[in-house]
Amino acid sequence: MVLWSPRPFAYVRVNNTEQGLRFFDIYGTKRVAMFHPVRTKSLPVPLGESPIYVVGPKGLKASARPDPGW
């Protein structure tokens, strides 16, 4: 999944399953979100104008979060 925002910042929630998630930016920086049933089941992900690549199991879903108004 490729995610970005036309604004300087935004948030989405990504469902995190037992396999966890991997995130990559355009420079190849890797981050990993391991699965935890309470802390990371529905993971908030900050977005910016540069894309991030989310790698996870088939059926991965993201839902837009309301604009925080900052």
Q: Whole-angstrom Cα distance, residue 21 to residue 9?
A: 21
Q: What is the mean pLDDT of residues 34-62?
A: 88
Tokens 């991965």 identify what position?
Answer: 60
Contact 19, 58 (CB under 8 A): no
Burial of 68 (0-12, 13-18, 19+ CB in 10 A): exposed
pTM over 0.95: no
Q: How many domains does the chain have?
A: 1
If you average pLDDT over residues 52-60, what whole number do you get?
Answer: 90
Residue 31 belongs to domain spanning: 2-64
- Strands 42-47 and 30-33 come out as unpaired
pLDDT in tens, 18-43: 888 999 999 999 999 998 888 888 88
The reply to whether 70 falls in a domain is no
Question: Is residue 69 one of the residues assigned to a domain?
Answer: no
The confidence band for 70, taking pLDDT boundaries of 50, 70 and 90, is: low
